[in-house]
Structures are given as C-alpha cells and as structure tokens.
Amino acid sequence: MSALTTTTTELPESRVRVEAQVSPDEVQKSLERAARAIGRDMRIPGFRQGKVPAPVIIQRVGREVVLDEAVRDTIPKWYVDAIDEAGISPVGDPDLDIGDLPEVGEPLSFTIEIGVLPEAKLGTYKGVEVGRAEPAAADEDVQAELDQLRERSGTLETADRPAKTGDFTVIDFLGKKDGEPFEGGEGRDFPLELGSGRYIPGFEEQLEGASAGDEVLVELTFPEDYQAENLAGEAVTFEVTVKEVKEKKLPELDDEFAETAAGFDSIDELREDIASRLREREEERIERAFRDAALDAAVAEATIELPDALIEARAKELWDRMLHQLSHQGISKEIYLQISQKTEEELLAEARPDAETQLKRDAVLKAIVAAEGFDITDADLLEALEPTAQAQQTKPKKLLDKLKSSGRVDEAREDLAQRRALDLVADQAVAISVADAQKQGKPFTPEREDEPGA
C-alpha cells in the first residue's frame, strides 16, 4: 500500500475536494519521529538523554499527545504529497480539514478544498500572428548613457562662491525641536548634494546661496509620514554651518574622454559601442516580450472560464509573494502601505489584471503540454539543470537528486514542460509589424520598454 492515497471530486467555481488517506505505516513512522524529537530533552532513569526509545516516550507522554504533535509536524508534507498525488494545480489558500486522530493500525484521513487552474479549451496556438518591434538605439538613449559615464567621471572642485543647485556642500548641523536637540538630528562633515532630494524636503533649498563659512538657520516641518513617529509632522530648526562648497566639473565629450573613460580611440567609436550594446539589450527585451505576446495570442484563441474567486485568490498569492520579497529587504507590510499610500484592498484590486493574465497563461500552457504529450525525462531535467550546475560549480545529477529528495522533482518537470510549450508557441509564431498588429487588435511587443503592450 502506498504511503498516501487520494480521491478527487470536482466542485463548482473551479474548485476541487481532495480526500486523502495516510497509511497506518506512515502514521506510525511519523508518530515515532515525533516521539524521538520529544525525547531529546527528557531524562528517564535507565536511559541516556536523547537515547530513550520511542515506545517508552509514547507510553510516558501518551499516544494521543505524541500523535497530535506528529500530525502538526507532518501535515505540511502530507498536504504537498496529496496535491501531487491528485495531479492538480492549486490556486489560493486551501480549506484543510483533519479528521479524528486514528487508533493504532488505522489510517489518518484529511480533506482539502481548494481552487484549481481551470481547463482551457485550446484554439489556434501554432502560427499565431504577433506584432514584433525592431531593435534600435535611439540617439537620446546613447546620449543618456554618455551623460551617465560623464557624470561618473566628474570631479569635485572647491568653489569660492555661493552654493547653487547641483553643488555639493559639506556641512555641520544640529536639529532642534521646541528649542531642544533631538536624537538623530546632528551631523558633522555631512556631504549633501543640493537639489538631489535625498534629505528632508525643504532642507536643501534653504542652503542655496550660502557660502563656505556661513551659518544658516533652516526651518522646516517634517512630513506627516516620516518614519520617526516623534518627528512626523513636527516643526523643527536646524543650525547649519556650511564648511565647504564644491562644484562638479564634467569632462568634455571628446576623443580624450573616450580613451580615458572607456579605452576607445575616439568619441565616435564609444558612441557606436554604446549603440551596439543598447541594440543587443533591446533585442533581448523584444524577444522576451515577443514570447509573452505570442502566448497572449494563444490565450486569445482559447476559451477559459475564470471565476472571480479564483482571480481574487491568485491576486492574494501575488500580494503575499511580494510581501515575502519585501520582508527580505526589511520592509514590513505596514511600511509598504505607508509608502504606497494605499490600502491593502486597493492594492489587491490593482493586482487583479495581472492575476487574471497569469491564470489564463498558465491554463493555456498546461493545455498545450497535454495536447502535445510532453513527457519530461530525467535526461531532460539534467540538460535543463546544466547552466545552474555550472554557476554553482556542481553536477546536474546532484541538483536532480536534491529535487527528488525534497519532493520538488514533479514541480521541476511541470515547469520544464511549460517552458517547452511556450517555446513551441513562440518559435512557430508569425512576426508582423507592430502597426499591423495594432490595426488588427493582435498582441504586440512595445516599441520601447516604457510603452504599454497589448
């Protein structure tokens, strides 16, 4: 008997109920693992600490207590195993119902109700027409790159004149609230670029016109949403001493600059190198956008029923994923909501179009995988893992073994199958001009990165 078996029942609104049953042997193994974990800190006469046999711990603590701990620890794995066994693509959070704890020799039963990716009825997905932009490097883009290089090559020189926007000042300052210094309001030899907007709003502007040696009283009010709550919305003063004014000197865009800054013989060669790199970058962007547009063309030909609840569930997934990424940068949900000046409900509503697009794309790719009969073997996975293995200086076989041991190999097979489905759609798509695609209402790649696509 397998460790876990499932029965799947389709429900309305693209939901399913998965009834799962964990075998008695698997329940017993989980029970013994939990007992050993509990026993690590137990002291029982006649046994060394951490070496107490599982049956002794179960007898001492009680089977029901240990089994409850075992189920809590193992249910996440059993949930994943049940989803894999059922062969479904879940969307959103599950309703999980665990039955009564089983008696000795009995299986454990639990049920999952969850949204699933709807089935797409495919239309044409080979040879779809898609507008494709031509890569180009606009003169203003080349100039912008040159200007950035010029900025990086600039030097700061002391200016014997009043400070103006674009200058760098070196200042000492002391901030006071109600006449008393406040924490974090003091700085010495502080470098500040006027006009950069990097400091408190209103601070930099009041230093314009000041010369080295001047003392300036800066008066301002902190923003209402300032991160330090004791200063938010408060009126303060800063006693500022301007110690130095520096002007940024930029080199001329000539052959000497091209050689010094980038190792080219002439400014024309440098311009052409920048243009070439920009075109290459554009080609990569257009290729990525073309693949997405080709998939959207296949989506437009398919029939997919998407319940609102499913779109809402995927929008919530996108929101939770973003919050998880932000947490790694030290940004909490509360801080992000403050920065965005929007409610969670407003942000979830904004995520709905992306959620709907993703669900439709995923459904069509899954249907193409089934229609084409893509069967991903271990050899296919090893080939796909080769670039990652090289980057990590390991062997593809080791990465594959890790996927298998962590129970993620089926997910990897599905991902690779969907990539092959996307390759098929994109490779067989027919490129037409963006203008023709717009006239015919067909998907297209935007001419520039900041322009919306279709």
CATH code of the domain containing 45: 3.30.70.1050
Residues 268 and 184 in one domain: no
CA 96: distance to chain centroid?
Answer: 27
The Cα–Cα gap between 424 and 11 comes to: 32
Residues 110 and 166 in one domain: no
The pLDDT confidence band at residue 46, using thresholds 50, 70 and 90, is low
Residues 298 and 420 in one domain: yes
140-159: per-residue pLDDT in tens? 999 999 999 998 999 999 99
Instruction: Give mean pLDDT, residues 125-145.
Output: 92
Which residues does 228 contact at the CB level (< 8 Å), separation at least 6?
184, 222
Domain boundary among 62, 93, 116: 116
Residues 425 and 291 in one domain: yes
Residues 100 and 170 in one domain: no
CATH code of the domain containing 192: 3.10.50.40
Per the domain annotation, does 188 fall within a domain?
A: yes
Residues 203 and 79 in one domain: no
The Cα–Cα gap between 366 and 373 comes to: 11
Per the domain annotation, does 128 fall within a domain?
A: no
207-231: per-residue pLDDT in tens? 999 999 999 999 999 988 887 888 9
Residues 215 and 236 in one domain: yes
Residues 230 and 315 in one domain: no
Angstrom CA distances, 401 to 4, 127, 398, 409, 439, stand at 22, 38, 5, 9, 51
The pLDDT confidence band at residue 446, using thresholds 50, 70 and 90, is confident
Q: What is the pLDDT of residue 229?
A: 83
- How many residues belong to the chain? 454
Domain boundary among 95, 116, 137: 116
Per the domain annotation, does 141 fall within a domain?
A: no
Q: Which residues pair with 11 in a beta bridge?
A: 15
Domain boundary among 64, 89, 116: 116
Per the domain annotation, does 150 fall within a domain?
A: no
Per the domain annotation, does 338 fall within a domain?
A: yes
Residues 224 and 267 in one domain: no
Per the domain annotation, does 138 fall within a domain?
A: no
Write out the residue range of the structural domain in which residue 229 sits.
Answer: 155-249
What is the domain count for the chain?
3
Residues 277 and 223 in one domain: no
405-429: per-residue pLDDT in tens? 887 888 899 999 999 999 999 999 9
Residues 407 and 314 in one domain: yes
Residues 29 and 110 in one domain: yes
> pTM value?
0.75
